[in-house]
Amino acid sequence: MDDGYFQQFASLFNEFDVPAAFWVNIQLTFFAGILALVLGTVLATMRISPVPSLRWAGSTYVTLLRNTPLTIIIVFCVLGLWGQLGVKLSADFETNFFRLAVLGLAVYHAAFVCEALRSGVNTVPVGQSEAARAIGLSFWPAARLIILPQAFRGSVAPLGNVLIALTKNSTVAAAGSVAEASGLMSTMIEFRPDVILAIFLTFAFGFVVIVVPIGLATTSLSRRLAVAR
């Protein structure tokens, strides 16, 4: 590859805003991650609940969502919720699609957050819940005050893996007409196939820059919060 090749590739940055496209992916990850964590925590509580109907509902949700392709969920949010049912999360056209994509990403990854937290629950000694019952705590206070706080500490690494998967899966939002990195990459390749390798490496490197710090941070946090047995 000569200097002319890279000059031609560099000229694309004057026409396309690559950092802004990655910023959309970061925002998708952030908002969907928060919503998935909240929903996943509720699901995990349902799955360990002593109430059979709640356990069944939580298990059914996890089974269905984990085995449904994310693309189908995103497309359903756009064509089903918005297109057929008229659900609008914003009056602005682009913002509405963005929020629908966040919703689709969140409800999908909440199933994985649930399982990550459930693995953390398994690290909590049985004696903790027995002690909670011994002092008169019912299930919900025991889960909120004793079980879940320790479960979060034991599931930092699995939750980090879910966050990494969410970051990479945010590219599926392109199926919902959200202008993010993978969509921009496709557009750049369409108009400039002569520099396709450089375009691909640029976007691959961009996701590496985003994902690697998440992995390092969650690994470090997991070691710091690990409970000595």
For 25, 148, 160, the CA distances from 19, given in Å and listed in that order, are 10, 38, 24
d(CA 106, CA 110): 6
Calculate the alpha carbon distances from 74 to 37, 50, 176 in Å.
Answer: 18, 33, 6
Q: What is the pLDDT of residue 121?
A: 83
How many Å is the Cα radius of gyration of the chain?
A: 21
What pLDDT score was predicted for residue 13?
A: 78
> Among the CATH numbers 3.30.70.260, 1.10.3720.10, 3.30.2010.10, 3.40.50.720, which is that of 3-224?
1.10.3720.10
Separation between Cα atoms, residue 206 and residue 23, nearest integer Å: 11
Note the pLDDT tens digit of each residue in 111-166: 999 999 988 888 777 777 777 777 877 778 888 888 888 888 888 889 999 999 99
pLDDT over 70 at 1, yes or no: no
User: Could you tell me the residue ranges of all domains in the chain?
Assistant: 3-224
Tokens 């963005």 correspond to: 98
